Amino acid sequence: MWQFDIFKRENLIQGISDTSFGPIKKGNSKNIQAFFSFLGYKISLGQIVWAEQVFGNKVHVCQKEDSGKIIKGVDGLISNVGGQILSILTGDCLPILLFDPQKEVVGILHGSRKSLLKGIIENGLLEMKSIFKSRVESILVGIGPHIRRCHYYLGSEIFEELKNTSFKKYFVFKDKKFYFDLTKLTIDKLLKAGIKKENIEDCQICTFCNFKEYYSRRKQKENPTIYPLKNPNFGNFLGLKK
């Protein structure tokens, strides 16, 4: 289980589940409620908003009536509704949690490689600025567990797609393979957008290295027997308290 220190003094419900709570699914009340109970929160499924997660760059600004729903076609959620909890599921992709303490706005972004390259971070921050008048330099950011450059190697098709783009600087060549640094890409994008370095907290956890604590799709692909279910996910949650 992970909680960000940068958020602990704030009026937030926040946390990332681990394998001890079992896989998190949209609508799987038992594991979700066990996780929130462990954190000391009494939460109903009707408070949670889920992003469908289609590996795109669309971000939805949530209304009160979105609670309990899956928002189709989006990989990011923004909200200023008290008691509403935003959620994405991950199993190697990079979760990004956002909070503007001045405007009391939260956001959560699904940082898949595709979403990051398509501008999910830029779109999320743009929504916070345009809809809620957030100042980027005030926004706090938490980067959750994800596969790191040590194990995230690219297939030949992806390498060919990216080798002549500006993203080639995130390649790491070792052991005759090309690896990709999702973490550096994310932090560079955040800093370029105006987020202060001291306002970014990276949990430093690699899902592949820590597959016993956090589900890793890539690790399971190499060793299919490590989990009882195929492609399990852990949950990333962030919301304003009522």
Is 147 in contact with 208 (CB distance < 8 Å)? yes
* Mean confidence (pLDDT) of the chain: 96
**Is 23's pLDDT higher than 80?**
yes
What pLDDT is recorded for position 28?
73
Least Cα distance to 185 among 200, 167, 202, 197 occurs for 167
What pLDDT is recorded for position 103?
96
Is 226 in contact with 83 (CB distance < 8 Å)? no
The pLDDT confidence band at residue 20, using thresholds 50, 70 and 90, is very high
d(CA 202, CA 141): 8
The pLDDT confidence band at residue 27, using thresholds 50, 70 and 90, is confident
d(CA 184, CA 211): 21
**What domains can you pick out in the chain, each with its CATH number?**
5-147+183-240 (3.60.140.10)
**Is 10's pLDDT higher than 90?**
no
175-230 per-position pLDDT tens digit: 889 999 999 999 999 999 999 999 999 999 999 999 999 999 999 999 999 999 99
104-126 per-position pLDDT tens digit: 999 999 999 999 999 999 999 99
The pLDDT confidence band at residue 17, using thresholds 50, 70 and 90, is very high
Least Cα distance to 88 among 60, 105, 108 occurs for 108
Q: What is the DSSP letter of 153?
A: B
Is 134 in contact with 103 (CB distance < 8 Å)? yes
Least Cα distance to 128 among 153, 109, 103, 149 occurs for 103
Least Cα distance to 215 among 205, 204, 200, 203 occurs for 205
Is 74 in contact with 123 (CB distance < 8 Å)? no
Q: Where are the beta strands (DSSP E) in the chain?
A: 12-16, 48-51, 59-61, 70-71, 76-79, 85-90, 94-100, 105-111, 140-143, 171-174, 177-180, 200-202, 234-240
User: Residues with Cβ < 8 Å from 94, sequence gap 6 or more?
Assistant: 111, 112, 116, 143, 144, 146, 182, 183, 186
DSSP lists the bridge partners of residue 70 as 50
pTM of the entire predicted model: 0.96
Backbone angles phi, psi at 112, to 5 degrees: -70, 165
